[in-house]
Amino acid sequence: MAKREEQRTWTSSDETSHLFRCSSKACERNFKAPRLDLSGGNISRQQLTRNFSQLVANNKKPPPFINTRPNVNITSPVRPFRTTNSNNVPLPPFIILIVGRVAKAGAVLLGRNVRKWWANLPPEQKAEYTQRAKSNRKYIGAAFGMLGMGIFVYYDSHIQETPYTNRKRFVAFKPEQFEQLARQEFESLVESFKPLIVPANPRDPAYRRVSRVANNILKSNKDLEQIRNKEWTITVVNDETIQNAFVLPSGNIFVFTGMLDVCETDDELAVILAHEMAHAVLGHAAENASYCHLMDLVMVIPIALLWAILPSDWSSAFAHAVGSGLQGILLSLPYSRAMEMEADEVGLFLAAKACFDIRLAPIFWAKMAYVGTKGGEPQIEWLSTHPNHESRQNRLEEVMSSALTVREDCQCPRLPLLDPKSYLEKYKRKVAETETFDNVAIRLRAV
Ligand SMILES: [Zn+2]
């Protein structure tokens, strides 16, 4: 047992084995893929082997299928909601999130009141309090130290690894809690899109296309626990002006018909759907909310100090706004972009296992970049939650050979000899001939 626990820590230059495997017995093995760029992901062969064994064991369970009931009629999940241990009942997510927000607002009020109180003190009292603070500085330092330690312990006790990429991350919520919230959101979204929802009718071309591609990806990845344990649904929304698709943590995929126009081939659609599925599989929604919650907590002391020390409400509010902006640009937005990249990479492997022509993934983003040069919305990456099209294209090209190896090992049909870049050239010619930039994907944002 001790030997089993012995782990070799990998350096950042190592490659890590991804756990993407084929469903077929013919290709049950690990696959190599370059390490993801996200931090904190030291990983051992033993850990990967353990995870891999778990996947093999889970492979015996029945495969998932997309819920084929009408999308507007999903009111009671077939799979019962998993409950947490009764003696370990966590706080509901909205309470956890509210605590962070309330703490930040409290810090503003506290700092502001301290400043006003201090300004109204007579000079002799100020001198007395200053003297007292100096003589008790050890205790004051210890109090701040304990507060910082408390936040660190809270952070450290909620660290977990992402499935398949084994990246360390802070998650304050149980997956079940977030899925429950997502189901409520699903019902509310279905209600709001109701007049536009394409009926779940296999004879409808849009619904048939999306369900065919999505089912293909799900069935080919049924060996992955996070694919198997969700009640996947698809909802096609008939709005050609929106080039978008998204997924809720509970596995509810929404696709707008505008996105179907952008994805000219099923291979491109598979890349988009697999990216969305990867977000759900990796639990990115809970991670993102946890990250925001953590930032709220970490900023409590700096905010209180800022409002207490600066001379006026205006200067405090200005510094607060600048600090929030910098926090977004330097921390939150890069974190969001890193998760998008991770979903791109994992999605590429999901699509590869389903035998799609994943070479079109970087081509798709090259296509989007080309459209962007012809009048699309300008992309300023460092101000965006998503990487720009070129970054996504480059990253996908970097991991392409690993994903193609997975595809090959899944005994997929040979890819056409046609160079996928010719597809891009063809697309450029088509757009140039028809001059229909206004009608192509300009506003592809939240994928
Ligand atoms: Zn995304």
Complete DSSP assignment for 246-271: EE-TTSEEEEEHHHHHH--SHHHHHH
How far apart (Å, rounded) are the C-alpha atoms in residues 405 and 29? 12
- Residue 130 CA to ligand 1 center (angstroms) comes to 52
Marked catalytic residue, from 179, 225, 268, 276:
276
- 374-414 pLDDT, tens digit each: 766 667 888 888 999 999 999 999 999 999 999 998 989 99
Ligand 1 centroid to residue 386 C-alpha, Å: 7
Segments making up each domain of the chain, as ranges: 26-82+169-288+332-439, 121-157
Helices (H), 19-136: 45-58, 93-119, 123-135
The lowest-confidence range among 82-86, 291-295, 409-413, 431-435 is 82-86
**Active site annotation includes 276:** yes
Residue 340 predicted with pLDDT over 70? yes
Q: Which residues contact 174 (CB under 8 A, 6 or more apart)?
A: 84, 90
Say how many Å lie between the CA of residue 2 and the centre of ligand 1: 40
Residue 273's pLDDT band, with cuts at 50, 70 and 90, is: very high
pLDDT one-digit tens code per residue, 292-310: 888 888 898 899 999 999 9
Report the C-alpha gap between 146 and 159 in whole angstroms. Answer: 20
Round to whole Å and give the CA distance between 392 and 340. 9
Whole-prediction pTM value? 0.76
Place of tokens 């008790």: 136
Determine the 3-state secondary structure of 61 from DSSP. Answer: coil
Q: Which of 78-92, 122-136, 324-338 has the lowest mean pLDDT?
A: 78-92
Is residue 17 over pLDDT 80?
no
Q: Which of 65-74, 241-250, 350-359, 408-417 has the lowest mean pLDDT?
A: 65-74
Dist. CA 254 → ligand 1 center (Å): 13
At 25 the three-state DSSP class reads helix
pLDDT at residue 373, as a whole number: 76
Q: Measured in angstroms, how far is the CA atom of residue 3 from the centroid of ligand 1?
A: 40
The Cα angle at residue 438 between residues 432 and 441, in degrees rounded to 5: 90
